[in-house]
Structure formats: C-alpha cells, structure tokens
Amino acid sequence: MQKIIKLIIILLLFFILGIFFIALNQTSNYNTEHLVGNKVKDIKLDSFQNNKSIYSEDLKDNNFTLINFWASWCAPCRIEHSHLMELSKEKNLKILGVNFKDKETNALKFLKDLGNPYDYLAKDKQGKKSISFGIYGIPESLLIDKELKILKKFIGPINKNDLNVIKEIVKSL
C-alpha cells in the first residue's frame, strides 16, 4: 500500500512539474501582428462632439490615416501626444483619435491643455468598438492606407522611431 501511495505522489509531482514546464515555455503575450496587411472593415464610430458617426467611407478620401486610441487618464498617451502633434502637420496623413473609456470633460481638457492633433475625433465609452480593431490596451495606433489596409500597428506610445517610420511611409507617395 505504501508503494502505491509513493508512486502516486511521484507521478503527481512529475505531472505538476510537466504542467509548469509547458506553461513557462509558452508566450503569454497577446499578439496582433497578424492584423497587418488586412483591411479594417465596417468602421462606424460615434463622433465625439456631435451626434454624427465616422464611417469607413470617411477615411477612404485620405491617402493615409493614423487611428490612435487614447484617453485622458492614460499617462503614456501624454508621452506620445507631442509626436501626434508633429504628425498632424503631414500633408498625406489624417489622424483619427478614438477616445477610450473616458469622461468627455476630461478628454476635452486634455486636448485643450496639450493641443488637438486629430482631424476626426470619436469615442468608445465602453471600449467595445476598439476590440474590432484588435486593440487591447492604450495607447495603440493603426496606420492604414486609402483602401483601409493596415500598414503598421503601434502598441504603446508612439516614440521618435515610430514617428520617423510613419513619416517615411506617408512621404512614400
């Protein structure tokens, strides 16, 4: 009987160690790089300051559109904001800002204090519409062309290197 108990304990120990080994060797990062090259479909976002909506058709007139997901309560969003202000000066680029799970008064104060780089401003109060874009945290941005094809995805705040990559793509026309 003691041999059976020892055998069960040893087998259980190996089973637990095996599970830990398998778990440690798997990536836990949620990867959305597969979105690059795909088209954004059926965009319908509520406009921020009026009862209108922003649709896919509105973005097809632009050579390039940077869709930026942000919030006033997001510290990294403040870090990237100066880069967005610089990008707003690019001729071939329009910026769509999607305000994520934020209070309207806080978002307006954020833009008043830091400047408004956005050509379009939308809201996603519940955070549900952002999921359809493959967004799982903010700030995140998608660079799309006039055919709504995702050219690049930026996870986290846009930095100087990202800024240069975007400028290079936009000037390639």
pLDDT (tens digit, 9 = 90+) per residue, 120-148?
A: 999 998 888 888 888 888 999 999 999 99
As a whole number of angstroms, the distance between CA 63 and CA 94 comes to 8
Task: Specify the CATH superfamily of domain 37-170.
Answer: Glutaredoxin (3.40.30.10)
Q: Strand, coil or helix: what is 23?
A: helix
Of 75-84, 86-95, 129-138, 147-156, which gets the smallest average pLDDT? 129-138
- Looking at residue 7, its pLDDT comes to 85
* E runs forming strands in 10-133: 44-47, 53-55, 64-70, 93-100, 120-124
- The pTM of the full predicted model, rounded to 2 decimals, is 0.79
Listed residue (95, 91, 79) closest to 138, CA to CA = 79
